[in-house]
Amino acid sequence: MKTSELSRLSNANISSTMNQQSNASRTIFQRIIDREIPAKIEYEDEWCMVIHDIQPQAPVHLLIVPKRVIARVADASAADEGLLGHLIVTAGMVAKKLNLERGFRLVINNGPDACESVPHVHVHLLAKRQMGWPPG
C-alpha cells in the first residue's frame, strides 16, 4: 500500500472512532433531535421537540425535550430559566392541540431515586387516564 492510502485509511479509522465516541457520549435525545434515530414527532420548534414515549405509561405519553442539553434540573442555572419555562408552555400548547381538557400530568425526573433514565432534562406529559395521588 502507498503511504497516501495508509494515511487516508488511518484518518478514516480515526474519524470513525471519533464519531463512535461522539455518539456514545451524546444522549438518545440528541440523536433523535439530529434525526439519527427515528421518533414520532408531535411538535417541534427552534427550542424543543415533543415526541411520543416509546414505553408509554398512559394512553398519551409525550416527552418535551429541549434541543440544548441540560443534564437535569439540579444542574440548571438562571440562564436556563427561559428554556425551562418554554418547555412548560409548550406542554400546555400541545395538550390543548390534543384536546386534553380533562387533564394531564407533567413530570420531570431528577436523579436515580426519581428514575431519571436519560441525563437530558425532559418533561413527561401523561394523559387520558386517571392519575393517582400521591404520585409515585
The per-residue pLDDT for range 30-83, each reduced to its tens digit, is 999 999 999 999 999 999 999 999 999 999 999 999 999 999 999 999 999 999
**pLDDT value of residue 24:** 65
Is 122 part of the annotated catalytic residue set? yes
The rounded distance, in Å, linking the Cα atoms of 88 and 86 is: 5
Structural domains in the chain, CATH included, are 28-127 (3.30.428.10)
Model pTM score: 0.81
* Mean pLDDT of the residues in the chain: 87
61, 120, 122, 124: the catalytic one is 122
